[in-house]
Amino acid sequence: MFIQKKSLITISFVAVLFLSACSNSVYDEMGVDENNIPAFTETERQEGANKSLIAVKLMTQGSGEEAAKKSIADSFALLKEEYRTVSIELDDEDQEDWYGVYMQDHTAIQNMKNSKTKLTREEKAVMDYYEGLANPEFPIIEFSANPILK
């Protein structure tokens, strides 16, 4: 009995290590270090698609591209626990603005397609973005100095 329990614990531990090694973090996917995240302030938040989608506006000052990428990756990492799709606009008071889209899977898209209510501007923009992708493979992570959702 003791040997069986020990074997089961070992197998479980190896499975957890394997699964954690296989799943890349948002930081890894975006190629940024998850330490020393610059300060930013959330200024606006709008939920949609049965709470599987969120659009967030952030404010920062003098971040530059690498810092903006870290801030957006950090927001994705925090918000993806609750939302399947995240859209971020990072307003920089001193430099250019930055944009990011994270889609974990097609849940938000299905929720929007099945919605009985009129889609919000953000929901329509996410739908247009998704439908414009040639070959969507999840997770979808995009970062740009130009607006991604139109």
Query: pLDDT tens digit string along 99-126?
Result: 999 999 999 999 999 989 899 899 999 9
Q: What is the pLDDT of residue 88?
A: 96
Q: What does each C-alpha distance from 95 to 16, 19, 42, 91, 144 come to in angstroms? A: 42, 39, 17, 9, 14
Q: Say what percent of the chain tops pLDDT 90.
A: 59
Q: What is the pLDDT of residue 142?
A: 95
Assigned token pair, 48: 């949609």
Q: What is the pLDDT of residue 9?
A: 46
- pTM of the shown model: 0.79
Q: How many domains does the chain have?
A: 1
The DSSP symbol for 18 reads H
Q: What is the pLDDT of residue 16?
A: 37
Classify residue 15: in a domain, yes or no.
no
Strand order in the sheet with 41-48: 41-48, 53-60, 85-92, 98-103, 140-144
Q: Do residues 55 and 46 lie in contact, with contact meaning Cβ atoms separated by under 8 Å?
A: yes
Measured in whole angstroms, how far is the alpha carbon of residue 150 from the centre of its chain?
A: 18
Classify residue 21: in a domain, yes or no.
no
Q: Do residues 72 and 98 lie in contact, with contact meaning Cβ atoms separated by under 8 Å?
A: yes
Q: What is the pLDDT of residue 146?
A: 94
Measured between alpha carbons, how far is 18 from 10 in angstroms, rounded to an integer?
12
Q: What is the pLDDT of residue 3?
A: 54
Q: What is the pLDDT of residue 22?
A: 41
Q: Which residues of the chain have pLDDT under 50?
A: 2, 5-22
Classify residue 51: in a domain, yes or no.
yes
Classify residue 31: in a domain, yes or no.
no
Q: What is the pLDDT of residue 96?
A: 87
Number of CB atoms found within 10 A of residue 123's CB: 24
Phi, psi of 59 (to 5 degrees): -130, 135
Classify residue 22: in a domain, yes or no.
no
Classify residue 14: in a domain, yes or no.
no
Classify residue 57: in a domain, yes or no.
yes
- Residue numbers of the domain that contains 99: 36-144
Q: What is the pLDDT of residue 105?
A: 94
Classify residue 5: in a domain, yes or no.
no
